[in-house]
Chains A and B, each alone.
Chain A
């Protein structure tokens, strides 16, 4: 038997602020731009 559910029960929960930030339109617009830049940077590092 694995101990997955005990491990899940001990995992940290996001704070209320984190949950609100994950839905906040302005903050997420910023993250949308930032994640896209980060992904493009990572893609260009590949050998192709």
Chain B
């Protein structure tokens, strides 16, 4: 009998847990530890943030699903890993502290044969003074944040109806943020709602980003083949900005936020301020606050985790210049660099470097998007690691791991630009591979056949379909496993 503990119940962890339960025998145990009681389809938080969906439409309680599937669930926060055991518990184990209201602050240890770290991001609002719901800006990172943001947006629209001009700033709140795609989506959903409310002419909408140019999205931009020409995501995105009358501030790192004022630095070293009446700025991410200890009780966190708090896996972490980055730098098995029975997946694994070209201001400020590894790649990693663990439990530890590198996997991104079954819009994009491979695709780093983008109502339908399908899948309804990650 084997016991697999999964830390985190987001897209990656939940996917891994469900596949493990499906693949392992009844005698094997699958245990999930998550500080949250609910699963959240985060891509639809955008729609909660403009009041088009409620929090309940994008979340559901995890406990009933896990009870039905025979997965042990602990609503708790993992605090420390003991992969070699400790003086108290001989077997590998993880220390947890309950967030479950019935056992709040109670501590426990969970032994494991295999551990998956899918703890996702810590929303690091503290990296920028004044950033976040506890400061002076808003967020759509959680369903609760998005609900609060929708109420503030409604208030702003009401002020515009009363004849008051408003300045709306949407983007990212630090030079090293990721998820620019989500900020882009929220920008155009807000713009769409302003037009629907008849107040568009009363609003100045600004997209605020750390990207070097529009259309970068943290993946170094894309090149599409359209109508016999190569075109770029930069041109394509700028066209949408022009069409919808949205301004942009690029190459920006937020230094501090005061009530109604963003203080920022740009790549050329200039420092400026931007005033706002409404600001939704995403935070940078860092890894969960997890420590690791060896058998003697010595802390080995620096060997297990990168300084960012993300888990080191089978990537090439040697510091190399951009020109020497290779597709092979990216991990494929997600096995911990230190412990073979520990895996880091989804946002929790430490990427070897950015995907976009790294840039630093003359003041030494890094202003470069961190690589996105949410959504589809996260689900694929979760399933890949589940396959490896299931094989090893059934056939022995020497079984070769399954592989899924972001340099050999594609991703679909459907960026909503407005809700509505008849008048909605979205930019549907695919890229293959996520991490450019200039050895394999010397011209653009990606397959021109499989990298494309298209704006239209169909994109909105696809986004809404994905909302329904992935919630169905996450609820482990019949044949859920037939739905690709």
Contacts and interface: CB of A to CB of B under 8 A. Distances in A.
Chain B, interface size category, equals 35 or more
Chain A, interface size category, equals 20 to 34
A27 B292 CA distance: 55
Given A4-B249, A5-B248, A35 B459 contact: yes
B214 interface: yes
B485 interface: yes
Contacts of A36: 462
A35 B403 contact: no
B243 interface: yes
A48 B380 contact: yes
Nearest to B267: A2
Interface string A1-17: 11011011111111000
A44 B405 CA distance: 14
Nearest to B434: A46
A40 B376 CA distance: 12
Where chain B touches its partner, the secondary structure class is: mixed
B325 to A, nearest CB: 19
A41 B450 contact: yes
B242 A48 contact: no
Interface in B272-299: 272
Interface string B470-485: 0000000000000011
B320 interface: no
Contacts of B459: 35
A8 B430 contact: no
Nearest to A44: B484
Given A12-B235, A42-B410, A45-B432, A28 B270 contact: no
B35 to A, nearest CB: 28
B266 interface: yes
Contacts of B241: 8, 11
Given A7-B238, A9-B242, A31-B454, A47 B404 contact: yes
Contact of A47 (B243, B409, B454): B409
A32 B462 contact: yes
Contact of B456 (A11, A31, A39): A31
Contacts of B410: 42-43, 45-46
A23 B239 CA distance: 17
A26 B249 CA distance: 37
Nearest to A23: B457
B458 A28 contact: yes
A14 B236 CA distance: 10
A48 B404 CA distance: 5
Nearest to B428: A35
B21 interface: no
A35 B458 CA distance: 8
A46 B408 CA distance: 6
A39 to B, nearest CB: 5
Contacts of B242: 8-9, 11, 13
Cβ-closest 6 pairs across A and B: A11-B238, A46-B409, A22-B456, A31-B458, A32-B458, A2-B250
18 contacts: A4-B213, A7-B214, A8-B242, A11-B239, A11-B241, A22-B425, A23-B422, A25-B422, A31-B458, A32-B462, A35-B428, A36-B462, A43-B376, A46-B410, A47-B332, A47-B403, A48-B403, A48-B485
